[in-house]
Structure formats: structure tokens, C-alpha cells
Amino acid sequence: MKKSVVAMSLSMLLAAPGIALAAGKNPISVHILNQQTGMPAPHVAVTLEKKQGEKWTVLNTASTDEDGRVAALWPEKPFEAGDYRVIFKTGKYFADRKQESFFPEIPVEFHISNTATTYHVPLLLSQYGYSTYRGS
């Protein structure tokens, strides 16, 4: 009985958001799914920026993997509250497929207030539209 209570307490602590970040989980990730094909969008350049006053400062750049993901977009620095944006550079993705696209870049702005949790920014993409939301 005592062992199961200790094990349950330990598993609850490990599941807490602050513990996950302390264990090295990157706080910002992205994922792109091409709605037209139902497949991930690989090799899309992604930029993370932070708003400082009226200007945006680049924090990191990456490219989606074969599964359309960037699992670790936050750079190796303290995670801070603030206004951020992720810019998905989708023009080249469609050009490489010899397709037109109305949106060569898709900026997604968001606000981070809780630095003890993770943020996932998925993008559902098509040539002439997109949608996004805060994922988990």
C-alpha cells in the first residue's frame, strides 16, 4: 500500500507542467499538416520572434522534419512571458510542388503568460487558406 501511494505521488509530480520543463522539454513546438493531402508538410522554414517594443526580434529558425514538426523551437535561453510570433514560410513549400499559394508566409502571433507549461502551434495548411490553434 505504502509503495503504491509513493508511486502514484511520484507519477503525479512527473506529470506536472513545471516538472516537464525542468526535465528538458522544449516549451514551443510546431506542426504543419497539408489539409489537401492529409500529409505532413516537411522542409518548411519556421521562424520564432519576440516582440520588443514595436519591433520583432528573431529568436530561432528551424525547418520542419519529415513529419512536419519542429519539436524544439525555443532557443537555449530562459523561457520568458511576452508576445511572440511564429512565421511559417510556406511559399517555397508550394513552389517545390509546382503549386500556387495565396499565402507565401503565415505569421501566427500569440501571448505567453505561463512559463511553466508548453505551447504547441499547429498549422492546417492549404494553397488558399489555413487555420491554427493552441495545441497540446
Binding residues: 31, 69, 133
Backbone Cα Rg of the chain: 18
Per the annotation, binding residues for substrate are: 31, 69, 133
C-alpha cell read off for 80: 520568458
Interior angle at CA 98, CA 43 and CA 96, nearest 5 = 20
Q: Which residues, 6+ apart, have CB-to-CB distance to 16 below 8 Å? A: none
Give φ, ψ of 20 to 5 degrees: -60, -45
